[in-house]
């Protein structure tokens, strides 16, 4: 799969406990991105954060939080990201979605032996 040098980074900020059709929202988004053949997706777990409600989510040992902030990052062409936006709009009840232009320097897999 090729990805253009001038691409888009889509960031989706959600909470760990959010669901979509009985499965974790972050998992549903990544699986949908894969199904639609987007170049790749990564889920990053944050040890601390807050959103619109200003409710603090933290991984401090005394809090034992299981609802930490997550960021899903997806990079692909502008056309593919724009086609994906209506899909995630339906899936996300609360959260933040951002896009920014990025320059892809490398997109390589492990060489076959």
Structure tokens at 25: 């929202």
| Residue 50 clears pLDDT 80, i.e. is over it | no
- Segment 39-58 shows an average pLDDT of 80
- Residue 81: inside a domain, yes or no? yes
- The count of structural domains within the chain is 1
Any idea what the CATH number is for the domain that residue 33 is in? 3.30.70.120
The span from the CA of 81 to the CA of 6, in Å, is 13
* Residues of the domain holding 10: 6-103
pLDDT band per the 50, 70, 90 thresholds, residue 73? very high
Return the pLDDT at 61. Answer: 57
Q: Angle at CA 78, nearest 5°, toward 75 and 23?
A: 50
Query: Does residue 35 lie within any of the structural domains?
Result: yes
Question: What is the chain's mean pLDDT, rounded?
Answer: 87
Domain contains 74: yes
CA dihedral 83, 26, 67, 101 (to 10 degrees): -50
> CA 112, CA 10: separation in Å to the nearest integer?
30
Sign of CA dihedral 105, 85, 66, 39: negative
């Amino acid at each position: 799969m090729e990805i253009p040098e001038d691409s888009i980074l889509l960031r989706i900020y959600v909470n760990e406990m959010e669901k979509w059709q009985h499965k974790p929202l972050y998992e549903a988004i990544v699986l949908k991105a894969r199904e639609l053949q987007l170049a790749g997706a990564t889920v990053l777990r944050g040890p601390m954060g807050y959103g619109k409600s200003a409710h603090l989510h933290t991984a401090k040992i005394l809090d034992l939080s299981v609802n930490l902030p997550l960021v899903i990052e997806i990079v692909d062409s502008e056309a593919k990201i724009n086609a994906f936006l209506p899909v995630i709009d339906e899936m996300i009840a609360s959260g933040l979605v951002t896009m920014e232009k990025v320059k892809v320097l490398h997109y390589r897999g492990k060489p076959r032996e």
